[in-house]
Structure 1
């Protein structure tokens, strides 16, 4: 399983989320930052050329994960432990209601090469 995800904002690559030994890192893509009027993916993750680090999954990303009965169905269907928030995020947040989409890094590479 990948420990890195691409974060899209309105279909454009905005940055990268990575799960590592010390927690999580989010970094905006330099091309996105230099693009015409880039938007932050969240008020808690304003535009920055520097990485954001957290010991736990950033609350913005955690908030994208479904709750309640939908989480129960999703976690049992894909056999994902409910405490594995990163795997839930990259599995369940490929088609969100809002402008932000999270894709496992290898899926995006397959789409680009396919």
Structure 2
């Protein structure tokens, strides 16, 4: 499953999951535009970040509590699948970040 990550409408990178491994890689154009890093935990670099599970920055964007339960139930997503919940609701996140699903699982 892949998702496009935008900051203030500008493509910042790709978030991808295969199994339990999740990668985030900044877009080449984003790096050349002199845009800010998404977070201090994801400084700008050409190489992909690799994590087992959702990177901490992105896990902080996943809904919590009653909203997470409602999203999981209504969208038929396992409430423990933070990646799927994030990309399914990524166009309605707080702040400057949006996440758009690029392909289906």
TM over 0.5, shorter chain = yes
**Structure 2 counterpart of 1:111:** none
Greater C-alpha radius of gyration = 1
Cα distance between partner residues in 2 of 1:62 and 1:97: 13
Q: Point out 4+ residue stretches in structure 1 off by more than 4 angstroms.
A: none
Q: TM-score, normalised by structure 1?
A: 0.85
Alpha-carbon distance, 1:95 to partner: 1.8
Tell whether 2:83 aligns with 1:86.
yes
Tell whether 2:21 aligns with 1:23.
yes
Match 1:53 to one of 50, 54, 65: 50
Q: TM-score, normalised by structure 2?
A: 0.92
C-alpha RMSD over aligned residues: 1.5
Identify, as 1 or 2, the structure richer in helix. 1
Task: Give the aligned length.
Answer: 104
